[in-house]
Amino acid sequence: MNRIKQWIEQGPLLVDGGMGTYFSSKEHLPGSGCEMASIEKPVLISAIHREYLEAGARVIKTNTFAANRPTYRHTETVRRIIRASWNLAVRAAAPFGAEVFADIGPVTGLPPAAAAREYRFIVEEFLSLGAENFLFETNADDTGLDEAAAYIRSKAEDPFLAASFAVLPDGYTRSGIFGEDLIRDLTARGNFDAVGFNCVSGVRQMARLLEDMDLEGVTLSIMPNAGYPTVVGNRTFYDSDPVYFGRGLAEIAARGASIIGGCCGTTPAHIAAAREELTKKSRDLRSAPGRSRSEALAAGEEEDRVPESPFFEKLRAGEMPVAVELDPPETADVRKYMDGAARLAAAGCDLLTIADCPVARARMDSTLLACRVKRDLGMETIPHLTCRDRNLNATKALLLGLSAEGLRNVLVITGDPIPTAERDEVKSVYQFNSRKMAAFIRGLGRKSFPVPFHVFGALNLNARNFDVELRIAREKVEAGMVGFFTQPVLSRRALENLKQARRTLQPAGAYIIGGIIPVVSQRNALFMENEINGIHVSQEIIRRYEGLDRDAAEALALELSVKIARDMAPFIDGYYLMTPFGRTKLMARIIAGIRG
C-alpha cells in the first residue's frame, strides 16, 4: 500500500512549506520562479529540502511548480528541470524516510485540450523517473486534472494523487468558481485521493473558510500562506509569526484536514512550529466543527424566506410572460425613460430588461437603473451583466447589492468588444466568460443571497453554425443558467433554429424566451441585416417595407411582430420584445396584440 495512504490513516500528514518564497528570501531576489535553481544552484535547493525535513515535514515537494513549456518555452529545458528537481528531492528525503510529491502548478493560457496535453507531458516525465505521488496545486479550476490523473493511474500501480485550489478568503477562485463545488466535483469523480486548498489565504482565513463549507467525507489537503504579503522595494514579504501559523495549522488538522503544510511565505520555522503544535494536540481534543448551512436549515434557524420572482413564477407556471428590453439613456436624465417604462408596465409588460452598455458604448448603468425602476415603479427588472467590464470582486459586490435591492434575475452575456479605435483609451476586462460567470453566481447563491438569482443567458438563433451555439447553450445550463433570451426571429431559418433549440434545451429544463424586434423602416431593416451582429432579416421582410411612411411601417411592424409571436408560441415559454428607438407606444400595441 502507498505509504502516504498509510500515514494519513494514522493522523495528519505534515508537508513542507513554500520553496519559491523561501528561496527568494535566501537569495534576496524578487518573488520569481526558482525552478532553474535545481540545475544552477543544486546545493542550495538540497539545503532547503533538508531544512524542511529537519523541521518535521514527512513529505517534500519537488522544485517544479512552474516547470512547464508555456513558462520555460523549450521542451528539453523543462525535462532537465524535472529530472534535476526530482533527483534532488529524492536524495534529500531518503535519510529521513520521507516521501516526495511531484509538484505540478497550473498550466495557464492554454485551451483545455492543450492544457491537458501539457499536464500529460509533465506527468510522463515524472513517471519515467519513478514518481508515485503527485500534487497538482494552486489551480483556479479543474481543467485537465482528471485527464492527468486518469493517465497516472493507467501507468502507476498504487499512486497517491492530490489536487489543490487557490481560493480567496470568500471561497472563490480567480476563475469565479466556488471552491467547495470544485472539491466536491473532483472528489465525486474519484480520480484524486485528496483535494483541498492552498495559497492566497492565510491560516486564519483558511480556517474560517472551512467552517462555512460542508466537506464531510473529503480527504482534505490544506496549505495556507504565511499571512498576507507586503511588498517592499520590489520584494514580497510575509510577516506571519511561525508560532501563530503553527497553532492555526494544528487547529485546521484538528478539524479534519488529513494533509497540512505551507505555501507562500512559510519557512522551515513555520513547519517546525506546526509539528510542535501537532504533538501537543490529541485528536480527542479536536475542536467541535461549526455547523454547516444545511444543518442550520434543518434546525429551522435559517432566515425567513423573501419574495420570489413573479416573472420566474409565471415561466414555471407556463403563463407565457412578456419581457421588454428598453435600452438605458445616454445621459443622467431618466424622465423619458421612466415614462416609457411606466407605459410598458401599464400595457402588461411582466419584466423590463435593461442592456449593459450595448455595442460597448457607455450608457447609464443597467443595474442601477434596474433598481431605480423597481423602486419607483414597482416593476420587475432584469439587468444584463456583461463579462467585459467587471472582475470577480466587482461582480460579487454588484450582485450583493442587487440581491439587497430585491432583484432576483440577471441576464449574463459576454458583452460586445470595445471598438478598435478606442482600445488605447478604454480597456476591456474579461475575467469571466458567460459560463464561468453563471457558475460563479450559482456558487454565490448558496452562501450569500437569501434567494439565489435566476441566471439567464443569450441564445443566437441566427448563428452561422447553430449546432455549436446549442452545444454552448447546453454548457451554460450545466454552469447554472435556467433559461435563454433569444435573438429576434426575422427569418424562416431563425424559426427553424428555434424549433431545434426547443427540442435540445427543453429536456435540460431550460426556459426559452423568444426574441421579437419590430422592424420600423426599410432603412432599419437594412441596418440590422448588415451591421448588427446576431440579427438576420429576411429579404422578404426588407422588401415589404419599401416606400412605407412611418405610420404604415409601424402598422406593418405590429402585424409582423404579432404573427412572429404566434408562429413561435409552441416553442417558447415567454416573449422577449426589443424596443427600437425608444418607441414604447409601439411596444404597448404589440403587447396588446400578443395578449389578444
Cβ–Cβ under 8 Å, residues 149 and 191: yes
What's the half-sphere exposure (Cβ side, CA atoms, 13 Å) at 42? 14
- 535-557: buried (b, 16+ CB within 10 Å) or exposed (e) per residue? bbbbeebbebbeebeeeebbebb
Selection from 320, 209, 361 nearest residue 575 by Cα: 320
β-strands 220-225, 381-386: how paired? unpaired
β-strands 160-165, 194-202: how paired? parallel
Place of cell 416609457: 340
What's the half-sphere exposure (Cβ side, CA atoms, 13 Å) at 457? 28
CA 469/CA 34 separation, integer angstroms: 43
CA 144/CA 120 separation, integer angstroms: 9
β-strands 99-104, 59-61: how paired? parallel
Query: Which SS3 state, helix, strand or coil, does residue 133 take?
Result: strand
371 is in an annotated binding site: no
SS (H, E, C) 401-415: HHHHCCCCEEEEECC
User: Which one-letter amino acid corresponds to residue 555?
Assistant: A
Supply φ then ψ for residue 465, to 5 degrees: -110, 90
264 is in an annotated binding site: yes
CA 468/CA 212 separation, integer angstroms: 38
CA 490/CA 517 separation, integer angstroms: 8
Cβ–Cβ under 8 Å, residues 67 and 21: no
34 is in an annotated binding site: no
Cβ–Cβ under 8 Å, residues 163 and 223: no
User: Cα angle vertex 150, ends 146, 154, to 5°?
Assistant: 170
Contacts of 585 by beta carbon, 8 Å cutoff, 6+ apart? 343
CA 222/CA 257 separation, integer angstroms: 7
Cross-strand pairs, 135: 103, 162
CA 161/CA 181 separation, integer angstroms: 19
Contacts of 167 by beta carbon, 8 Å cutoff, 6+ apart? 173, 179, 197, 200, 201, 209
Cell of 561: 411582430
Cβ–Cβ under 8 Å, residues 145 and 139: yes
Cell of 70: 508555456
Place of cell 513547519: 271
Selection from 83, 490, 565 nearest residue 321 by Cα: 565
Annotated binding site: 199, 263-264
Annotated binding site for Zn(2+): 199, 263-264
